[in-house]
């Protein structure tokens, strides 16, 4: 296990969720959201690119960001399960985004003091972007949760469906623990209170209750994914794989 | 590394600084503060460029345009992407803010701390009539760096350069 693999996990989280947001492009319920969701996706993909580039350099085998993004199969992807959950409806998408951003904001804030200069650079940008994501997605969680009978029911369904994937956010793999010990990445478990506070604040306004998770679904960091990730990667990677070595 | 601000290093800076932003062409890369520095290293003009947003799709176009401008000015050129410290809208020059306003884009409200509150709203003045009676239509606008607003006083819809 090595530090570069911890950066890979982080990059995979951002790329996969960024791709999920891009899937809404042209399908959003209104023009404003059609702009917002790909914009948020771009933030995530931009962060992923820098992290892949850095991970590839630390690995030292000459793998580029494209190699890492396009030429690994699902078992080699190390993203957490939350980010690969399918878009389903607007409630699912916004809650997933809110959960992730509520985690990443304090994560990047803590990473501002990283021992690694590139991580500090990424953190300085991303913590501000995550503040926007929390606000935007959080407003929708409130609007839908405290909305019509239909919207509230959908938001409750989303909470029910996604809460089993929350705990995995706070797990550190062996690689992550190594990076944490070296002062390069923040200790994930330490971020739970900040996440709980953000979620409690928004859920109170959204008239939502956080269910107690009967169990937590884990496995993403070991490459054990849901079937849906394979479909996502197939779509994302097909052009690159059909034209090996193609460059922009 | 030699840092030299005399003679041709200055010419290199001037050539690079005049490059307009591809998405907001009323301002230059120097106005926006995304051109950090230009140095001469062993005869090569090296320009330090910083992205606004992580996923800003214009970064590559900006880098290519700066490189081309340096070449046109007779320099061998190279771009260095600088991540730290991260760019903030506070780096937009006074002249840049004025150009944005004239172009119809409300410049970012000063002090990037305002985004840190969870649901804090900023007061944005309409770039046309100056009224602060404005409303946010969309947190995300035509580019990653802008939000969309409307003026309730003169009914003008306008872009707001988000504060980060």
Q: CB-side exposure of B84: number of CA atoms within 13 Å?
A: 14
- The pLDDT tens digits for B2-42 are 444 445 889 999 999 999 999 889 999 999 999 999 999 99
Q: Which residues of B touch A (CB under 8 A)?
A: 51, 53-57, 83-87, 112, 115-116, 118-119, 137-142, 144, 148, 162, 164
Place B111 in a pLDDT band, splitting at 50, 70 and 90.
low
- For residue B46, the surrounding DSSP H or E stretch is strand B44-49
- Residue B129: the pLDDT is 92
Distance between A105 CA and the closest CA of chain B, angstroms:
10
Shortest CA distance to A87 belongs to which of A172, A13, A16? A16
Give the Cα separation of B161 and B103 in Å (integer).
12
Place A228 in a pLDDT band, splitting at 50, 70 and 90.
very high
**What is the location of CATH 3.30.300.130 in chain B?**
8-81
For residue A32, what are the CA distances in angstroms to A155, A187, A222? 20, 36, 37
- Residue B118: the pLDDT is 54
Tell me the domains of chain A and their CATH numbers: 3-242 (1.20.1260.10)
**In the 3-class helix/strand/coil scheme, how is B127-161 assigned residue by residue?**
CCCCCCCEEEEECCCCCCCEEEEEECCCCCEEEEE
- Contacts B119 to A, Cβ<8 Å: 135, 138-139
Distance between B18 CA and the closest CA of chain A, angstroms:
25
Give the Cα separation of A200 and B68 in Å (integer).
51
- Residue A244: the pLDDT is 86
- The pLDDT tens digits for A153-163 are 999 999 999 99
ipTM over 0.90: no
Q: Select from 3.30.300.130, 3.40.50.300, 3.40.50.1820, 3.40.228.10 the CATH code of B8-81.
A: 3.30.300.130
Is the model's pLDDT at A111 over the cut of 50? Answer: yes
- Residue B4: the pLDDT is 44
- The pLDDT tens digits for A33-83 are 998 999 999 999 999 999 999 999 999 999 999 999 999 999 999 999 999
Work out the average pLDDT over A201-229.
Answer: 94
Distance between A35 CA and the closest CA of chain B, angstroms:
6
B161 with B144: CB under 8 angstroms?
Answer: no
Work out the average pLDDT over A219-223.
Answer: 97
Handedness of CA A117, A36, A6, B57 (dihedral sign): negative
- The pLDDT tens digits for A6-22 are 999 999 999 999 999 99
Q: CB-side exposure of A156: number of CA atoms within 13 Å?
A: 11
Is the model's pLDDT at A116 over the cut of 90? Answer: yes
- Contacts A199 to B, Cβ<8 Å: none
- Residue B116: the pLDDT is 52
Angle between helix A3-22 and helix A31-59 axes, rounded to 10 deg: 160
Work out the average pLDDT over B37-66.
Answer: 90
**In the 3-class helix/strand/coil scheme, how is A81-126 assigned residue by residue?**
HHHHCCCCCHHHHHHHHHHHHHHHHHHHHHHCCCCCHHHHHHHHHH
Looking at every residue in chain A, the average pLDDT score rounds to 95
- Residue A93: the pLDDT is 98
- Residue B115: the pLDDT is 53
Give the neighbor-by-neighbor strand order of the sheet with B134-138: B105-106, B157-161, B146-151, B134-138
B87 with B52: CB under 8 angstroms?
Answer: yes
Give the Cα separation of B38 and B78 in Å (integer).
10
Smallest Cβ–Cβ distance between B55 and the set A32, A45, A135 belongs to A45
CA-based nearest residue in chain B for residue A128: B164
- Contacts A124 to B, Cβ<8 Å: 83-86
- The pLDDT tens digits for B148-162 are 899 999 999 999 988
Return the structure tokens found at A203. 């859920």
- The pLDDT tens digits for A88-106 are 999 999 999 999 999 999 9
- Residue B44: the pLDDT is 93
Return the structure tokens found at B76. 């061998």
Q: Which residues of A touch B (CB under 8 A)?
A: 18, 32, 35-36, 39-47, 49-50, 117-118, 120-122, 124-126, 128-129, 131-132, 134-136, 138-139, 198, 201-202
Percent of chain A's residues with pLDDT above 70: 99
Place A152 in a pLDDT band, splitting at 50, 70 and 90.
very high
Residue B80 backbone dihedrals phi, psi, to 5 degrees: -120, 125
Radius of gyration of chain B (CA): 17
Is the model's pLDDT at B59 over the cut of 90? Answer: no
B46 with B39: CB under 8 angstroms?
Answer: yes
What secondary structure does DSSP assign to B106-127, as a single string? EPPPS-GGGGGSSS-------T
Q: What is the dihedral of CA A190, A192, A193, A195, to 10 degrees?
A: 130
- Contacts A138 to B, Cβ<8 Å: 118-119
Looking at every residue in chain B, the average pLDDT score rounds to 86
Is the model's pLDDT at A143 over the cut of 80? Answer: yes
Is the model's pLDDT at B43 over the cut of 60? Answer: yes
- Residue B3: the pLDDT is 46
């Amino acid at each position: 296990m090595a530090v570069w693999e911890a950066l890979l996990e982080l990059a995979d989280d951002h790329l996969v969720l960024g791709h999920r947001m891009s899937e809404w492009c042209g399908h959003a319920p209104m023009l404003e959201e059609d702009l917002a969701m790909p914009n948020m996706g771009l933030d995530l993909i931009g962060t992923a690119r820098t992290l892949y580039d850095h991970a590839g350099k630390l690995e030292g085998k000459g793998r580029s960001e494209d190699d890492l993004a396009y030429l690994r199969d699902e078992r080699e992807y190390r993203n957490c399960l939350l980010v690969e959950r399918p878009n389903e409806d607007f409630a699912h998408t916004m809650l997933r985004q809110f959960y992730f951003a509520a985690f990443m904001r304090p994560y990047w804030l803590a990473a501002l003091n990283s021992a690694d200069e590139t991580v500090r650079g990424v953190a300085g940008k991303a913590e501000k972007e995550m503040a926007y994501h929390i606000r935007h997605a959080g407003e929708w969680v409130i609007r839908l949760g405290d909305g019509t009978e239909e919207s509230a029911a959908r938001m409750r369904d989303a909470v029910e469906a996604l809460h089993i994937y929350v705990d995995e956010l706070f797990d550190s793999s062996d690689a992550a623990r190594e990076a944490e010990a070296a002062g390069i990445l923040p200790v994930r478990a330490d971020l739970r209170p900040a996440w709980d506070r953000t979620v409690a604040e928004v859920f109170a306004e959204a008239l939502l209750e956080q269910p107690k998770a009967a169990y937590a679904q884990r496995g993403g960091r070991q490459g054990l994914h849901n079937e849906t990730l394979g479909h996502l990667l197939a779509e994302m990677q097909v052009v690159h794989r059909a034209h090996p070595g193609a460059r922009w | 590394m030699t840092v030299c601000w005399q003679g041709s290093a200055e010419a290199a800076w001037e050539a690079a600084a005049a490059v307009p932003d591809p998405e907001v062409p009323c301002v230059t890369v120097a106005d926006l503060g995304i051109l950090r520095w230009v140095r001469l290293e062993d005869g090569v003009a090296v320009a330090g460029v910083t992205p606004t947003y992580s996923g800003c799709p214009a970064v590559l176009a900006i880098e290519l345009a700066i490189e081309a401008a340096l070449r046109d000015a007779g320099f061998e050129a190279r771009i260095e992407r600088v991540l730290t410290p991260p760019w903030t809208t506070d780096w937009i020059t006074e002249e840049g803010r004025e150009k944005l306003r004239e172009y119809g884009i409300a410049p970012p409200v000063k002090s990037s701390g305002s985004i840190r509150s969870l649901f804090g709203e900023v007061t944005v003045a309409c770039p046309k009539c100056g009224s602060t009676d404005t409303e946010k239509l969309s947190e995300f606008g035509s580019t990653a760096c802008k939000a969309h607003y409307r003026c309730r006083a003169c009914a003008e819809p306008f872009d707001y350069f988000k504060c980060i």
